[in-house]
Structure 1
Amino acid sequence: MPSIAAYDLSEQQRTLVRLIVNEGKRPEEAAELAGYHPKSVYKTMRLPAVAAAISESIQLDLAVVGAPLAYRVAKSLLQDASVSARVRADLSIKVLDRAGHIAPTRKDSSSQQKALSEMSRDELAAFIERNQAEIDKVEGELASRAKDISYLG
């Protein structure tokens, strides 16, 4: 992941990115502190190099600060007996899921079969038959949203 220095930014733009991402300043406040007119900050933030630097800085901050902090918070809540069992159970599932340790459900494993484009005619017919109720439900929802345009009065 490139550092902010890898982008072709002026010192003023680097300061703006640092104030917004690292110090959590509002864009208008960061603009004033970096020497920009507050109303020009959004135009500056849309410049490709500045936008990329902001995005990369946020990703780096999440990887270095946010994720470890979130993990420590989750871990402390999981170990805290005063937190409700329901909250700890929900948090446990989420932590395990994000770490890739949750076994796929039956629905997940069936969706990992063949792609529709790779199915034979018989496999497609069986797929449609197995999923007809869901197909009917979706078609019904779509039909209920349709607007009648036959009358142009």
Structure 2
Amino acid sequence: MAKIKLVDTGWSMIPEGNYTFKITKADYNEDFGKMEISMVTKSGQTHNERFSLITKKGNANEGAMKAFSYFAKTALGNFDVEEIDPADLEGCYLSARVEHVESETISEKTGEPFVNVRLQDMKSAVSFGGDTQVTDEEEGDEEVDLDDFLD
């Protein structure tokens, strides 16, 4: 029987570890309040952060607004900024510890829980740094969990 060569699918979950990300794209759909931030690591792995800034009822989603504000101010390295154009984030660097968190939601296809990638210990960066795997002994200075901002 003939063998078929398989190709790289172009996507894999970023392993847990410390990474520096460059923000390559920031898309904001004002009608639905959806913000999507596309980022890439030095080695070319991609990650997207999504924020729903407006609830289904059309109100401001305060938790998401706080989480996005912290993300944006950290990426910009400016905690005094009061408003931004999403394009201001493009080209900014952000260092963070990638953590995998298992969801309570079960996939209908696999029967397994979804695994979400979370960015912890975010800090402003000026360029790509070294990407490393996290060991049990490593701890960040001040841990900020974006989920703490969400209800």
TM-score normalized by the length of structure 2: 0.21
| Larger CA Rg, structure 1 vs 2 | 1
Higher relative contact order (CA 8 A, sep 6+): 2
TM-score normalized by the length of structure 1: 0.21
